[in-house]
Structure 1
Amino acid sequence: MPESHLTSGAAVDDHTRGEPGAGSGPGASATVGAVPTGNGSVAAYRRQAAPGGGLSRVWRPAGEWVARRTPRITLHPLRELPFDYPPKVVLSADLALLVLGVVSCLQRHEYFPTVLPLLALVLLFVSVPSYILFGIVPKPLALSATTMAATALFLAQPVDADFAPFVLMVVTAEIAAIAPKRVSIPLALLAAAELVAFAVLLQVLWQNDVLRTGVPMYALGILLGWLVGVMLQYQRLFLYQERENQNARAAQAATTERNRIAREVHDVIAHSLTVTLLHVTAARHALTTDRDVDEAVDALADAERLGRQAMADIRRTVGLLDSGPAAAGPEPGADDIPTLIDDFVNAGLSVRRRVTGDPARVSAAVGLALYRICQESLANIAKHAPGAEVEFAMEVGARSVIVRVRNTLPAGAAPRAGHGTGVAGMRQRAEGLGGRIHVGPEAGGWIVRAEFPLHDRPADTNGPVARADSGLCPLSNLIADTHPRRPGPRYDAG
């Protein structure tokens, strides 16, 4: 078998160098390419270069097993701990342990040069480098074992006013903050039992009662530490619950907003297409039947105007979905209902209207709801009951505003149940503003009746809107005064 060479990271046999007799045998191997790197790279290369594999079948799995079991030294930040606590909380607990450990070591300066205090200090912080360097997440049992061992090394050299038992208090709080109660309670009792055991041993063996007199205080400190950890854990659980509630509220708000935008788009499209088709139909009849070009042009002009208005309304409504600043425009209100009715009348719908009271007392929100309800009702009449007689009535009273839209049904047409998308939108508008709506057949016809309260804008005895006694703060009155309203024709009775 020819001898292989490694040059510049490539394996080249003698045959590639032009030497005679090289690479002529059946077992010759010419491997050209980069030498593999990483775990088990040498074994992988030998298996490629040597026939039969040799010992590579044994060494390669062993090398891979060792590589998998060897911890990789990488820095792991504290924010990646699975306990979901801020890094400042973890650093505060570690700093408290560091202060207590250093003070406990300094208290035992008389015992130097013994290394027990230093060994105890190392045991206290064995979990910190284990996680930061090797990613080993500290476990409650491991924390308790290392801390109790460190405390035992401290207590083996008793001193007056010892700070070492407070280490158990801090670690008990840490364990209670990351472990369930079935784990933290036994570990806390075990820590208290360690203090009692050392107090008894020091009293019996060395007649030293320094720790025995402080056991009640230290035990109370362990209890307080456990309570602090439990409160932190409850706070974390409440944080999780609040996050879930916020997500649910955000999803509900998004669904509500989508439904509102869907209602607006439906109302705009249904009204515009219905009236536009009526005008187009009138233009077709004028051209085919009466040969009246002027009437057809007027009908097409009205259809064009309504189409442009519908496009503007759709752009404004869809603009609510954009995250950027959209062009804000005034929404239609109660003052725009006469113009809406005029559009349908010009398209061929016969409407008798009657209005009582002052529509200016209707708030912007209620006015928009009334406008959309009238828009949907008239569009449904033009679509499902062409040629019907329509009666429109609006009564603005002292406490409420009532709108009625009633139409006759064509001969032979059976009343249909009002469960469509438009009717559902009208119901949602009424319920969202505390109003009531009735949609259904009545006395051989079809009626839509909506009632909304006007408690937010009561009328004065002199006629205009009374704002001084409205119960609103001056800022609310200022906002109501400056709210943009679209100018429109005033209602005329009859």
Structure 2
Amino acid sequence: MDWPWWIPVCFAGLALVVGVGAVAQRSGLWPPGFPAGLALVAVAPWLVQLLTGRHVPNWLFFVVVNAAVAGLMLWRPVGIDLAPLLLLLLLGDVAATERVRVSLSYAAVSAAMVVGLQVAGAHQLALFWSVCLLAAWDIGFVMQWQMRLVEQERVAAASRVQRATAEERQRIAREVHDVIAHSLSVTMLHLTAARRSLEEDGETDVAEAVDALRDAERLGRQSMADIRRTVGLLGSGGRLPPEPDASQIADLVGDYRSAGLEVTYQLRGDPAAVSAATGLGLYRIVQESLANVAKHAPHARSEASLDLTGPRYRLTIWNDLPGATGKPHDDGGSGLTGMRERCELLGGTFHAGPEDTGWLVRAEVPGSGAVVAAAETAPDAKECAVGNLLGRHGAAAAGGDVPSGSGASALNRPVEA
């Protein structure tokens, strides 16, 4: 164990003082004689550890100190002897560093030696010193237990820091994925429109093609700025910029509509009443879903609906499947999985699958008043969702994992009025 520096200093200092006192009781300090040599041998292990920084094996420590103390007490017995105090220091040191069974065996041997010295006539305080030995062992054991708790707290604190860092990186990776998927999908729609204008209409629609290219360039520059801002958070300690919310879903749908995607949006309720966390989750689900539509079925008709009037918010996006590009597949990205995890983090439910002639995704989350309670009652779901996302965010930029064959988006069909 990594003890504070002052503990070995105190042990060595106390042992030296006790050794000097034991010598003074017997023959005086000058000239040094046989008692001084025995005291020096008894104190030597503490001094060696303090001066060299090397740990003396406990068994050797124990043998040396006990032998030297026994020699002092037998060479010239005194009334109130200080020499047994060295045994107390030894036992406290051993109990603080050794296993319980081993340190208890050392205590038993020391107590037996004290009793044997009384039988040999070296002193008359065997019971007193035996009780003191037990107290010294208890103090050492408490010190060891306390140091173990300190070490556990250090490990736990380091683990919390690592976990918090990983969760923040996962959050940023998820935001980067959403920004890239959205911007690239809309940009590709603009580029496709420009290409078709030039291929099919020749010079008559050059202006429209130029406008589409300008929009693609604008979105590309905007996405690069968003990516730099998001990635910059990895090394930034400043305040975070505001995140999108539910009120911006209409603008998001408008971007896709202006890029050529046939999508309608119905809103019921006041988006300003939606909490920031819930609004961001709903926004990202719509963003990922429309990106999947643009990627797999760019000519599909899509319908989005957000109902904020009940105790649970209901978000649905549906699209048909004409001209789907590719088969349903799960390429290990964070599309459907990321949307499901966002719902779970908010205490909601998520469903994605074929319906009628199209593809449907339904996301239901508690209203703003119930989000906090849901999060408190399901902490394991949050840890599970974030932990699962860690292993997948590296492939986020590869695109959404919409089941391939349907090639469609993952949100629900709105309730038709």
Given the two structures, how large is their TM-score scaled by the length of structure 1? 0.68
Matched, 1:446 2:359: yes
Secondary structure of the residue that 2:347 maps to in structure 1? Answer: coil
Once the two structures are TM-superposed, the CA of residue 294 in structure 1 deviates from its matched residue by 2.7
Q: Which amino acid aligns with 2:188?
A: L
Tell me how far apart the structure 1 counterparts of residues 49 and 303 of structure 2 sit (CA, whole Å). Answer: 79
Q: Which amino acid aligns with 1:300?
A: L
Q: Which amino acid aligns with 1:446?
A: W
Tell me how far apart the structure 2 counterparts of residues 270 and 293 of structure 1 sit (CA, whole Å). Answer: 28
Once the two structures are TM-superposed, the CA of residue 190 in structure 1 deviates from its matched residue by 1.1
Matched, 1:332 2:251: no
Matched, 1:191 2:122: no
User: Structure 1, residues 353-392: CA drift from partner, whole Å, max 9, x if none?
Assistant: 1111111111112211111111000010111112211111
Q: Which amino acid aligns with 1:444?
A: T
Secondary structure of the residue that 2:121 maps to in structure 1? Answer: helix
Describe how 1:61-210 pairs up with structure 2 within 5 A: 83-108=1-26, 115-131=33-49, 137-156=55-74, 157-202=76-121
Matched, 1:360 2:272: yes
1:150–1:412 distance in 2 versus 1, CA, 3 Å:
closer
Describe how 1:165-314 pairs up with structure 2 within 5 A: 165-202=84-121, 211-212=123-124, 214-290=125-201, 291-314=204-227
Once the two structures are TM-superposed, the CA of residue 440 in structure 1 deviates from its matched residue by 1.6
| 1:388 aligned residue | 300
Tell me how far apart the structure 2 counterparts of residues 444 and 190 of structure 1 sit (CA, whole Å). Answer: 86
Secondary structure of the residue that 1:392 maps to in structure 2? Answer: strand
1:217–1:442 distance in 2 versus 1, CA, 3 Å:
farther
Structure 1 range deviating more: 151-160 or 129-138? 129-138
Ranked by relative contact order (alpha carbons within 8 Å, sequence separation 6 or more), the top structure is 2
User: Structure 1, residues 250-303: CA drift from partner, whole Å, max 9, x if none?
Assistant: 444444333322221111111111101111111222233332233223222221
Tell me how far apart the structure 2 counterparts of residues 304 and 327 of structure 1 sit (CA, whole Å). Answer: 29
- Asked whether the 8 Å contact 2:250–2:265 carries over to 1, the reply is no
1:433–1:105 distance in 2 versus 1, CA, 3 Å:
farther
Once the two structures are TM-superposed, the CA of residue 435 in structure 1 deviates from its matched residue by 2.3
- Asked whether the 8 Å contact 2:274–2:368 carries over to 1, the reply is no
- Asked whether the 8 Å contact 1:116–1:153 carries over to 2, the reply is no
Gaps of 5+ in 2: 372-416
Tell me how far apart the structure 2 counterparts of residues 145 and 218 of structure 1 sit (CA, whole Å). Answer: 18
Once the two structures are TM-superposed, the CA of residue 114 in structure 1 deviates from its matched residue by 7.5
| 2:407 aligned residue | none
Gaps of 5+ in 1: 1-82, 204-210, 459-493
1:146–1:175 distance in 2 versus 1, CA, 3 Å:
same
Secondary structure of the residue that 1:425 maps to in structure 2? Answer: helix
- Asked whether the 8 Å contact 2:320–2:357 carries over to 1, the reply is yes
- Asked whether the 8 Å contact 2:19–2:83 carries over to 1, the reply is yes
Describe how 1:461-476 pairs up with structure 2 within 5 A: none
1:166–1:293 distance in 2 versus 1, CA, 3 Å:
same
| 1:400 aligned residue | 312
- Asked whether the 8 Å contact 2:253–2:263 carries over to 1, the reply is yes
Matched, 1:410 2:313: no
Tell me how far apart the structure 2 counterparts of residues 334 and 134 of structure 1 sit (CA, whole Å). Answer: 67
Tell me how far apart the structure 2 counterparts of residues 134 and 315 of structure 1 sit (CA, whole Å). Answer: 53
Tell me how far apart the structure 2 counterparts of residues 111 and 279 of structure 1 sit (CA, whole Å). Answer: 98
| 2:385 aligned residue | none
Tell me how far apart the structure 2 counterparts of residues 111 and 288 of structure 1 sit (CA, whole Å). Answer: 110
Structure 1 range deviating more: 146-155 or 163-172? 146-155
Structure 1 range deviating more: 107-116 or 280-289? 107-116
| 1:19 aligned residue | none
* Amino-acid identity (%): 42
Q: Which amino acid aligns with 2:63?
A: A
Q: Which amino acid aligns with 2:174?
A: R
- Asked whether the 8 Å contact 1:404–1:448 carries over to 2, the reply is yes
Q: Which amino acid aligns with 1:391?
A: E
Once the two structures are TM-superposed, the CA of residue 113 in structure 1 deviates from its matched residue by 6.7
Q: Which amino acid aligns with 1:266?
A: H
Aligned residue pairs total 369
Once the two structures are TM-superposed, the CA of residue 174 in structure 1 deviates from its matched residue by 0.6
- Asked whether the 8 Å contact 2:186–2:216 carries over to 1, the reply is yes
| 2:401 aligned residue | none
Q: Which amino acid aligns with 1:346?
A: S
Tell me how far apart the structure 2 counterparts of residues 398 and 421 of structure 1 sit (CA, whole Å). Answer: 29
Secondary structure of the residue that 1:125 maps to in structure 2? Answer: helix
Tell me how far apart the structure 2 counterparts of residues 108 and 140 of structure 1 sit (CA, whole Å). Answer: 28
Q: Which amino acid aligns with 1:283?
A: A
Q: Which amino acid aligns with 1:384?
A: H
Once the two structures are TM-superposed, the CA of residue 304 in structure 1 deviates from its matched residue by 2.0
Secondary structure of the residue that 1:202 maps to in structure 2? Answer: coil
Tell me how far apart the structure 2 counterparts of residues 339 and 325 of structure 1 sit (CA, whole Å). Answer: 30
Once the two structures are TM-superposed, the CA of residue 142 in structure 1 deviates from its matched residue by 1.6
Tell me how far apart the structure 2 counterparts of residues 159 and 385 of structure 1 sit (CA, whole Å). Answer: 100
Tell me how far apart the structure 1 counterparts of residues 52 and 13 of structure 2 sit (CA, whole Å). Answer: 21
- How much is the aligned-residue C-alpha RMSD, in angstroms? 2.9
| 1:321 aligned residue | 234
Secondary structure of the residue that 1:449 maps to in structure 2? Answer: strand
Secondary structure of the residue that 2:359 maps to in structure 1? Answer: strand
Describe how 1:34-53 pairs up with structure 2 within 5 A: none
